[in-house]
């Protein structure tokens, strides 16, 4: 989450750098990390189950450090993309391991609170990305962002090697065919999501990406239903609690990263903040996250998962709607009240839904549960940016006053609006805030629709850990069960 948030602050310096990236290359520099991260999360969880979660964590930190180093010294866009991809692959190995280790190292009664703490850490990571990235990019070139990450990764690698306990390995199918189909399907869908705002949602490339992704994922489902030990059995999603948990996490991150995507632009273009001040201005968002996370477990125990999750998602939708009311003249304290409502809802939803996903699977599949958690987060982040970004760009272009020129980019258009005079500049900024309002209302509507589904699928009480594999009864399952009993 730190990488996803911080890189958005580096876009202006990257655009003006000696790499001379095109607009589409800038987009891929930002999103290469997310694509690889999201696509490899579930296979990485199985790798941790099979070969040891501590080993997977150490390998992931090593890859992350290598990727940051390559990015820092990159002399061309392809090399920078390779570094970003390596960093994403390392993060995919790192992300499932901590939750898996927590689950195995924590007594069952304390697992909900441990999962809540882990969930809070992932949300706070986005805030730290802004807070850390702001000072770095205020005083250093864009390479400084990656140069600072490399030693941090090396230090974490050393600490993890010394401090973390080994966790027993479990038998988990690596399923290379299923992994390839799943990753390729994710990549194709994410290609459509990422390229949609730039190429147009009805362009051949974007529609082709969605079509290929849907086809590959359909083939994956068919293959997994027939496989003896699939990487991810689609029949698991017959469990309403698992569906609710994955959708709840996905939508919570759609809302959060819609805000992260536009926050820096709003504070700089409309409020006139510097990069440094922008990085710190979002930090109070953490107050709502901490408050929501600290109370989520207790509220679930008292009122049940459904009540807490629906209340949290309604708060997210309310925060998004309130954000649609702001403009260039909105006082900063009023802005903080609105983002706090969103972050409080996020703090309530995250732990409840993460616990629901983990509890829907047996402990020996903790890596898969953590992988599903992470994949939902990353897809939510990517979808939040893509949906909000496409609405923002389209409405901004439509709202521009005469003489403002084509909206090649929002920053470029606002930066050149001074030639229109003070009134013209104000009209361009108003076009931006009006477009932002439409984006927030669109995402709020998505959250409300998802809230209905999550409410229908969620359990009334607190999530209970699955006591065993709970595999669907198939001939392959029956054969494996018989063999184990005979042994």
Residue closest to 243 by CA, chosen among 46, 465, 453: 453
DSSP assignment, residue 55? H
- Do 125 and 167 belong together in one domain? yes
- Do 398 and 252 belong together in one domain? yes
Confidence of residue 314 (pLDDT cuts 50, 70, 90): very high
- Do 206 and 74 belong together in one domain? no
- Do 13 and 56 belong together in one domain? yes
Any domain includes 85: yes
Q: Give me the mean pLDDT over the 333-360 stretch.
A: 90
Q: pLDDT tens digits, residue range 436-456?
A: 999 999 999 999 999 999 999
Any domain includes 168: yes
What pLDDT was estimated at residue 476?
38
Instruction: Please tell me the least confidently modeled range out of 41-45, 138-142, 245-249, 326-330.
Output: 41-45
Any domain includes 483: no
Any domain includes 77: yes
Any domain includes 477: no
Q: Give me the mean pLDDT over the 141-160 stretch.
A: 90
- Do 223 and 349 belong together in one domain? no
What pLDDT was estimated at residue 1?
62
Choose one of 188, 207, 230: the last residue of a domain: 230
Confidence of residue 120 (pLDDT cuts 50, 70, 90): low
Q: pLDDT tens digits, residue range 78-115?
A: 999 999 999 999 988 887 655 666 666 666 666 666 66
Instruction: Please tell me the least confidently modeled range out of 40-49, 131-140, 162-171.
Output: 162-171
Where do the DSSP E strands lie in 33-86?
none
- Do 53 and 193 belong together in one domain? no
Confidence of residue 342 (pLDDT cuts 50, 70, 90): very high
What pLDDT was estimated at residue 285?
82
Any domain includes 279: yes
CATH of the domain at 274: 1.20.1250.20
Angstrom distance (rounded) from CA 255 to CA 448: 11
Angstrom distance (rounded) from CA 302 to CA 226: 42
Dihedral-angle region of residue 52 (phi above 0 means left; psi in -120 to 50 means alpha; beta otherwise): left
- Do 217 and 162 belong together in one domain? no
Confidence of residue 477 (pLDDT cuts 50, 70, 90): very low
What pLDDT was estimated at residue 486?
39
CA atoms within 13 A on the CB side of 92: 28
Any domain includes 484: no
65, pLDDT greater than 80: yes
Q: How many domains does the chain fold into?
A: 2
- Do 219 and 257 belong together in one domain? no
- Do 222 and 78 belong together in one domain? no
- Do 129 and 44 belong together in one domain? yes
Q: Look up the domain containing 195 and give its range.
A: 175-230
Any domain includes 475: no
- Do 318 and 415 belong together in one domain? yes
Instruction: Please tell me the least confidently modeled range out of 93-97, 262-266, 272-276.
Output: 93-97
72, pLDDT greater than 90: yes
DSSP assignment, residue 365? G
Which range, 11-25, 188-202, 271-285, is most confident? Answer: 271-285
Task: Quote the Cα angle for 359-363-366, to 5°.
Answer: 85
35, pLDDT greater than 80: no
- Do 170 and 207 belong together in one domain? no
């Amino acid at each position: 989450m730190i990488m996803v948030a911080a890189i958005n602050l580096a876009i202006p310096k990257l655009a003006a750098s000696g790499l001379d990236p095109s607009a589409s290359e800038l987009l891929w520099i930002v999103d290469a990390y997310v694509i690889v991260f999201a696509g490899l999360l579930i296979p990485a969880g199985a790798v941790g189950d099979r070969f040891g979660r501590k080993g997977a964590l150490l390998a992931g930190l090593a890859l992350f450090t290598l990727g940051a180093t390559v990015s820092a010294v990159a002399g061309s866009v392809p090399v920078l993309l390779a570094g970003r991809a390596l960093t994403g692959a390392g993060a995919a190995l790192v992300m499932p391991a901590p939750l898996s280790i927590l689950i195995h190292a924590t007594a069952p009664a304390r697992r909900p609170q441990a999962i809540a703490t882990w969930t809070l850490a992932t949300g706070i990571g986005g805030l730290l990305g802004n807070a850390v990235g702001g000072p770095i990019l205020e005083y250093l070139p864009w390479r400084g962002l990656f140069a600072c990450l490399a030693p941090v990764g090396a230090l974490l690698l050393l600490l993890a090697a010394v401090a973390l306990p080994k966790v027993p390995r479990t038998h988990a199918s690596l399923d290379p065919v299923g992994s390839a189909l799943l990753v390729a399907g994710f990549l194709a869908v994410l290609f459509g999501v990422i390229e949609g705002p730039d190429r147009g949602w009805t362009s051949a490339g974007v529609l082709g990406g969605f079509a290929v992704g849907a086809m590959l994922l359909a083939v994956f489902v068919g293959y997994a239903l027939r496989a003896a030990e699939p990487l991810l059995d689609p029949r698991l999603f017959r469990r309403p609690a698992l569906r609710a948990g994955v959708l709840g996490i996905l939508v919570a991150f759609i809302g959060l990263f819609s805000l992260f995507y536009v926050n820096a632009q709003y504070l700089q273009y409309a409020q006139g903040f510097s990069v440094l001040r922008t990085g710190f201005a979002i930090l109070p968002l953490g107050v709502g996250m901490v408050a929501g996370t600290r109370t989520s477990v207790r509220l679930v125990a008292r009122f049940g998962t459904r009540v807490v999750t629906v209340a949290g998602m309604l708060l997210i939708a309310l925060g998004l709607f309130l954000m649609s009311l702001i403009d260039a003249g909105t006082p900063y304290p009023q802005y903080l009240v609105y983002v706090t409502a969103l972050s409080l809802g996020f703090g309530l939803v995250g732990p409840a839904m993460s616990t629901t996903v983990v509890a829907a699977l047996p402990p020996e599949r903790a890596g898969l549960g953590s992988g599903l958690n992470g994949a939902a987060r990353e897809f939510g982040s990517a979808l939040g940016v893509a949906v909000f970004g496409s609405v923002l760009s389209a409405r901004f272009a439509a709202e521009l006053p005469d003489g403002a020129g084509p909206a090649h980019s929002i920053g470029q258009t606002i930066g050149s609006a001074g030639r229109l005079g003070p009134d013209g500049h104000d009209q361009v900024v108003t076009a931006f805030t009006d477009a932002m309002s439409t984006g927030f209302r669109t995402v709020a509507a998505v959250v409300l629709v998802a809230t209905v589904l999550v409410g229908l699928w969620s359990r009334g009480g607190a999530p209970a850990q699955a006591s065993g594999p709970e595999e669907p009864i198939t001939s392959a399952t029956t054969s494996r069960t018989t063999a184990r009993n005979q042994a």
